[in-house]
Structure 1
Amino acid sequence: MCGRYASTLPPEMMQELFKTLNSIELMPRFNIAPTQPVAAIWEESNRREAHFARWGLVPRWVKDPREFPLLINARVETMAEKPAFRDALKHGRCIIPASGYYEWRTNPDKSKQPFYITHEDGHPMALAGLYATWSGPEGEEVDTVATITVPANGQLSVIHDRMPAILEGDAIEQWLDVRGTDARTAYQLALPLADGALKFHPVSTRVNSARMDDPALIEPVSDVRPEPVIKKKAGGGAQMDLF
């Protein structure tokens, strides 16, 4: 899954790269977490614009979001059938600009080591996403999004079995064109990137806390794997325990 990411693109760069008709004020973020406002791009009435949206999709038909599960990811294998995602796949596709994302590897001792994952060439990412606008009883409207995940490629499988669907080139144009690209075609665009397209390095476990948000979070740290602690049995025998 993708549960944290960073976005440090200046507004003018995001507008130029993704060809939006507008620009929104953005501060560099290094630890974006679910339920927080994120920048997302979609097309509506032939206008491609950037918006702020809540990370955690809430379909239009939900009566009370507080009683609805937090949907931050849509699995590519089931998004076309799940009631929460199937309409958005047809009419509410978006991209979520990112500089990189975090994933956690489970170590043999069950501890978790976070990694920061970026394009090999450092180019910004376009995470494939779905959006929906929830309307409340008082007329309030909230734009909400979820990222799409796919099976990890061979390179990333050493960290986790899932990865976000990252769009490139013409796939971005097709994904956002909800009028010209039907859901079946769009579904086929959400694929794992090829091995070698991404790079990663271990980072501090400070990223585990959503309160942390500073440039040091994306800096590499030593990848220290847990070493077995060998203790002798009481009595000095030769047999040892492995922990």
Structure 2
Amino acid sequence: MCGRYASTLPPEMMVELFKLLKSIDIVPRYNIAPTQPVAAIWEAQGRREGHFARWGLVPGWVKDPREFPLLINARAETMAEKPAFRDTLKHGRCIIPASGYYEWHTNPDKSKQPYYITMSDDRPMALAGLYATWMGPNGEEIDSVATITVPANPQLSEIHDRMPVILEGAAVDDWLNVRDVRAAEAGQLALPLADGVLKFHPVSTRVNSARDDDPGLIERAEIAKPQPRVKKVAGGGGQLDLF
């Protein structure tokens, strides 16, 4: 799954890269977590605009968002059938700009090592997403999003078995074009990137805490090597024996 990411794109770069009509007021973020507001892009009446939305999809038919489970990811294999995602795949496709994302590898001792994953040439990512607008009984509105995941390619499977859908080139335009590109066609765009398009490195476990949000989180960290266990040999005068 994709549960944390960074977005450090300047507003003017977002306008140019993603063909926005106007910029949105964003600041660099290095540890964006579920339930937080995120910048997302979608089209309405043929106009492409940036919006802020809650990360954690709330379909429009939900009665009380507080009692609905947190949906931060949608599996590409099942999103066309799941009630929570079926309509948004038809009418609510979006992209979520990112500089990179984090994934946690489970070590043999069950500890988890975070990695920061970026494009191999450091260009920005366009994460495929779905959005919905929930309207409450008193007129309140909540825009919300979920990212889409697929099975990891062989390179990324070293870290985790899933990865986000990252769109490139014309696929971005087709994904956002809900007027002319049907859900079935859009679903075919949800594919893992080829090996070699991404790169990754280990980072500090400080990223585990959503309270930490600074440039140091994306810097390479050294992974501590496990130390061999030792025991004293009986009657050995304090000698240590490796085993």
- TM interval, short-chain normalised: over 0.9
The CA distance in 2 between the partners of 1:124 and 1:236, in whole Å, is: 63
Tell me by how many angstroms 1:235 deviates: 4.0
Contact 1:31/1:207, CA 8 A, preserved across alignment:
yes
The TM-score, its normalising length taken from structure 1, stands at: 0.95
Q: 1:231 is matched by which residue type in structure 2? A: V
Equivalence for 2:219: 219
Structure 1 consecutive aligned stretches of length 4 or more whose deviation exceeds 6 Å: none
Tell me by how many angstroms 1:64 deviates: 0.4
| 1:139 paired to 2:165 | no
Partner of 2:83, secondary structure, is coil
Contact 1:233/1:241, CA 8 A, preserved across alignment:
no
The CA distance in 2 between the partners of 1:82 and 1:154, in whole Å, is: 27
Equivalence for 2:71: 71
Tell me by how many angstroms 1:22 deviates: 1.6
The CA distance in 2 between the partners of 1:241 and 1:111, in whole Å, is: 23
Tell me by how many angstroms 1:236 deviates: 6.9
**Number of residue pairs matched?**
239
Q: 2:188 is matched by which residue type in structure 1? A: Q
Structural mapping, 1:147-186, within 5 Å:
147-186=147-186
The CA distance in 2 between the partners of 1:110 and 1:20, in whole Å, is: 44
The CA distance in 2 between the partners of 1:173 and 1:224, in whole Å, is: 43
Equivalence for 2:52: 52
| CA shift in 2, pair 1:44/1:236, >3 Å | farther
The CA distance in 1 between the partners of 2:73 and 2:88, in whole Å, is: 13
Tell me by how many angstroms 1:241 deviates: 9.4
Q: Give the share of equivalent positions with the same residue, in percent.
A: 76
Tell me by how many angstroms 1:137 deviates: 1.2
The CA distance in 2 between the partners of 1:68 and 1:214, in whole Å, is: 31
The CA distance in 1 between the partners of 2:146 and 2:15, in whole Å, is: 21
**Which stretch of the first structure deviates more once superposed, 228-237 or 194-203?**
228-237
Q: 1:230 is matched by which residue type in structure 2? A: R
Structural mapping, 1:97-108, within 5 Å:
97-108=97-108
Partner of 1:30, secondary structure, is strand
The CA distance in 2 between the partners of 1:191 and 1:101, in whole Å, is: 17
The TM-score, its normalising length taken from structure 2, stands at: 0.95
Per-residue CA deviation, residues 121-143 of structure 1 (Å, 9 max, x unaligned), is 00000000000000011101110
Partner of 2:84, secondary structure, is coil
Partner of 1:167, secondary structure, is coil
The CA distance in 2 between the partners of 1:236 and 1:120, in whole Å, is: 57
Equivalence for 2:229: 230
Q: 1:22 is matched by which residue type in structure 2? A: K
Equivalence for 1:114: 114
Partner of 1:184, secondary structure, is helix
Equivalence for 1:194: 194
Equivalence for 1:206: 206
Contact 1:5/1:31, CA 8 A, preserved across alignment:
yes
The CA distance in 1 between the partners of 2:19 and 2:233, in whole Å, is: 69
Tell me by how many angstroms 1:230 deviates: 2.3
The CA distance in 2 between the partners of 1:224 and 1:78, in whole Å, is: 39
The CA distance in 1 between the partners of 2:124 and 2:110, in whole Å, is: 32
Q: 2:228 is matched by which residue type in structure 1? A: V
Partner of 2:129, secondary structure, is strand
Partner of 1:130, secondary structure, is strand
The CA distance in 2 between the partners of 1:117 and 1:154, in whole Å, is: 14
* Structure 1 gap ranges (5+): none
Equivalence for 2:80: 80
| 1:38 paired to 2:34 | no
